[in-house]
Structure 1
């Protein structure tokens, strides 16, 4: 049973969590809700909590879903929630182990279902192992307010290597999974997140199919530190990169594009072995005949986009596809049904 804690009082899990009262924020200001799935993040939680609470545009509500932590994470969350009214903590039972991909999205939806989405203009899936620059949300929301076609966006992740920060080299054509800010209407239109490993790739392509723009920017004021580098996994680099390869297979990526992507990743830490792990995950799933994302229209769109990326470059291709899809953009279109998870193809 889910339990939400607000000012140390239990709240039924069927009741949407209310917005904290505030007298110092104008009513016209865009309303932001963060939803953070987490498990065993005691090593990083305080840095993330402090960096979010010190934002120039802090969240109106921050729902943190503790997905069965066994370390000090629950105590840390409770100590912050007692002091900061915008924080609400949702508890989930311990499943026995960290479960990335579908497990993370299950936890995200435990938070999303605890709010009334109509109360918010923007919703962000945010991890608890990040250190955000102070104007992060202010800058992103300003850009989205200036361009109504931007459906989802983010800054860029960096990880620390000795005394310097190194880019994780994420593409500009989508928001990154660890901090995925969404216009709430766009999130509803694309049907939300797939409950599978490549949820944070599928969503951006679905945005583009419907005429929305998905983007991330490497501006100095939008660079954030990823305290647990992408693809490392709690079980090591090989597991994390292999999982990414499987995710590309599930999404429907063509073999030629997968090979090109893996070759590029071989130039990033861990050198060579990271790309080999991606190929192992992708072709291992192919040889076992594992299920793929069951949406033929999506797969055709994806492979056409990837083919053009190989021939013309990703930046030029993304610009052309965004331009072509503008006629399909309908911001008031009804919400889609929830997108499927693992389905036979």
Structure 2
């Protein structure tokens, strides 16, 4: 069923990339090898200082459907800045399709440190075709951490932010990429509030070459999670439950890091989202776990 009225298996992809010269070649190889390639893939270089720009340039010279965008140099920021980077990438991809008359039914967000099986996107689009109510999907994720392999243990209704695929109509109804901390969480919330299903499919696994929190260390990663929880207006009951849960996971200090991020924002009176539906959604989300 073609909900959008567009080519049902046409999609666009955006990848934010900063200093990924150790990972990006493998990602490019895995996307080029897809059984169904994107109409356009925009790789946004967010001011890299390593060999990332040259890798992207080589890819764009080799494949005419791979495009690049380069932003001014900036510190790595997992919050509002990243949302701006993603918006820039999607704006360029959508503009390119409009200018060239290319149709697409799905939009994908793809992190720069992943590799994908060759049928990854084909499999996700098949799931969309089975269920017209699906709005956002992802595969499962396995992390390669040194010589260890760790599979993400996440609810089936929580697509991974690093390799989401979004139905075009859902994307439009949600207002595009939210300019917010934890933009993937906000986008999924908006989709659910509009009646869309969100789902991850664990038998379709993306491989992450670096643990999601290791870019700035586990500590900084969970401090950020705490700050995001404050920004999103997550209920203190839910915050405490998360602290307890994290305290039983290795490394055991991540619960302290998470709580520190939340309390630090609280003490400093940091801003919170002003979006009323998002404030209400995350304030009451803890009830879903009862």
| TM-score after normalising by structure 2 | 0.90
Quick one: distance in 1 between partners of 2:212 and 2:235? 22
Task: Please say if 1:225 is aligned against 2:204.
Answer: no
2:125 maps to 141
Task: Please say if 1:244 is aligned against 2:225.
Answer: yes
Quick one: distance in 1 between partners of 2:37 and 2:14? 13
Which is further off, 286-295 or 161-170? Answer: 161-170
Alpha-carbon RMSD across the aligned residues, in angstroms, is 1.8
Shift of 1:153: 0.7
Shift of 1:162: 4.5
Which segments of 5 or more consecutive residues in structure 1 lack a partner in the other structure? 1-26, 312-345
8 Å CA contact 2:8, 2:105 repeated in 1: no
2:104 maps to 120
- 3-state SS in 1 of match to 2:137: strand
Count of residue pairs the alignment pairs up: 279
Task: Please say if 1:302 is aligned against 2:282.
Answer: yes
- 3-state SS in 2 of match to 1:113: helix
Post-superposition Cα deviations, 1:115-135, rounded to whole Å, max 9, x if no partner, equal 336632101111111011221
8 Å CA contact 1:168, 1:230 repeated in 2: no
User: 1:286 is matched with which residue: 266, 279, 284?
Assistant: 266
Task: Please say if 1:102 is aligned against 2:80.
Answer: yes
1:266 maps to 247
Instruction: Output aligned runs, 1:1-345, within 5 Å.
Output: 28-95=7-74, 97-114=75-92, 115-116=94-95, 119-219=103-203, 222-232=204-214, 234-269=215-250, 271-309=251-289, 311=290
Quick one: distance in 2 between partners of 1:29 and 1:194? 25
8 Å CA contact 1:231, 1:244 repeated in 2: no
2:3 maps to none
| TM-score after normalising by structure 1 | 0.76
Shift of 1:28: 4.3
Post-superposition Cα deviations, 1:161-187, rounded to whole Å, max 9, x if no partner, equal 444410232332232111121111111
Which segments of 5 or more consecutive residues in structure 2 lack a partner in the other structure? 1-5
Larger Rg: 1
Distance 1:180 1:255, change over 3 A: same
